[in-house]
């Protein structure tokens, strides 16, 4: 069973469900998907919302190892994504030498504001934490107490690890940044980090067509012919 935790924000509910469908439709192994919804984390995630926090799951993502019982491997991903490949391909890259594995972007945002007028934060290792393959037993520092008290940079820059050598690298195709990376066909996972095509101002972005096709497949229901 491949455990996947997806960040959930009620402002992007449709994105969450389309992403789930895209995973299940292509998976060759059983998949268990859980939303990181704040309403389901009462008493676990207790920190107050940070003014620089652009989504509900900015910090809850780091509870993935705890929610997995600090055992096995789990995947975290943001909800503003689309998976266009078998998620087992990502899971099979797990390597016990590492505590966590990510796509190591060199991402320096140009804009100050992104979707829904949210602030665009700029920091080293930007977007590394948007897709994480966690080796849960090696991430025991990520207790609820630590996640509730650590700064954003401590968490997103992986300062909870003793050594940066514990961060493994995933192929770029598993976190293609739409609107930043050069347009490229054949990506395994695309990330609408500026804003997804479900927002009017981004409905013509790269991989928008693929997102709308996935949404339509999700909404499809076969109709039985009825007698006249």
Three-state SS string over the chain comes to CEEEEEECCHHHHHHHHHHHHHHHHHCCCCEEEEEECHHHCCCCCCCCCCCCCCCCCCCHHHHHHHHCCCCCEEEEECCCEEECCCHHHHHCCCCCCCCEEECCCCCCCCCCECHHHCECCCCCCCCHHHEEEEEHHHCCCCCHHHHHHCCHHHHHCCCCCCCHHHEEECCHHHCEECCCCCCCCCCCEEECCCCCCCCHHHCCCCCHHHHHHHHHHHHCCCCCCCCC
Q: Is the pLDDT of residue 114 over 70?
A: no
Mean pLDDT for the stretch of residues 127-132: 96
For 29-81, write each residue's pLDDT tens digit: 999 999 999 999 999 999 998 876 778 899 999 999 999 999 999 999 999 99
Q: Is the pLDDT of residue 122 over 60?
A: no
- CATH 3.90.550.10 given to domain 2-219: yes
Structure tokens at 136: 């849960």
Tokens 């309403």 label which residue? 39
Predicted structure pTM score: 0.90
Cβ count near 162 (within 10 Å): 9
For 159-195, write each residue's pLDDT tens digit: 999 999 999 999 999 999 999 999 999 999 999 999 9
Query: Rounded CA gap, 70 and 183, in Å?
Result: 37
For 80-109, write each residue's pLDDT tens digit: 999 999 999 999 999 999 999 999 998 666
pLDDT of 50: 82
Query: Rounded CA gap, 158 and 135, in Å?
Result: 14
For 203-216, write each residue's pLDDT tens digit: 999 999 999 999 99
pLDDT of 115: 52
Q: Is the pLDDT of residue 17 over 80?
A: yes
Q: Is the pLDDT of residue 16 over 70?
A: yes
For 137-162, write each residue's pLDDT tens digit: 999 999 999 999 999 999 999 999 99
Q: What are phi and psi of 135, to 5 degrees?
A: -90, 90
């Amino acid at each position: 069973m491949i455990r996947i935790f997806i960040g959930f924000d009620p402002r992007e509910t449709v994105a969450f469900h389309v992403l789930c469908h895209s995973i299940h439709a292509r998976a060759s192994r059983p998949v268990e998907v859980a939303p990181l919804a704040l309403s389901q984390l009462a008493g676990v995630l207790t920190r107050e919302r940070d003014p620089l926090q652009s989504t509900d799951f900015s910090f809850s993502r780091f509870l993935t190892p705890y929610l997995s019982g600090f055992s096995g491997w789990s995947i975290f991903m943001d909800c503003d994504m689309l998976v266009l490949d078998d998620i087992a391909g990502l899971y099979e890259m797990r390597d016990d030498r590492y505590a966590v594995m990510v796509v190591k972007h060199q991402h320096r945002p140009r804009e100050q504001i992104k979707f829904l007028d949210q602030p665009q934060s700029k920091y080293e290792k930007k977007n590394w934490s948007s897709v994480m393959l966690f080796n849960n037993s090696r991430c025991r520092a990520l207790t609820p107490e630590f996640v509730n008290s650590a700064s954003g940079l401590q968490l997103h820059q992986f300062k909870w690890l003793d050594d940066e050598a514990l961060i493994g690298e995933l192929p770029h195709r598993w976190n293609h940044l739409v609107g930043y990376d050069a347009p490229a066909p054949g990506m395994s996972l695309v990330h609408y980090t500026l804003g997804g095509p479900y927002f009017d101002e981004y409905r013509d972005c790269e991989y928008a067509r693929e997102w709308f096709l996935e949404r339509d497949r999700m909404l499809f229901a076969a109709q039985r012919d009825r007698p006249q």
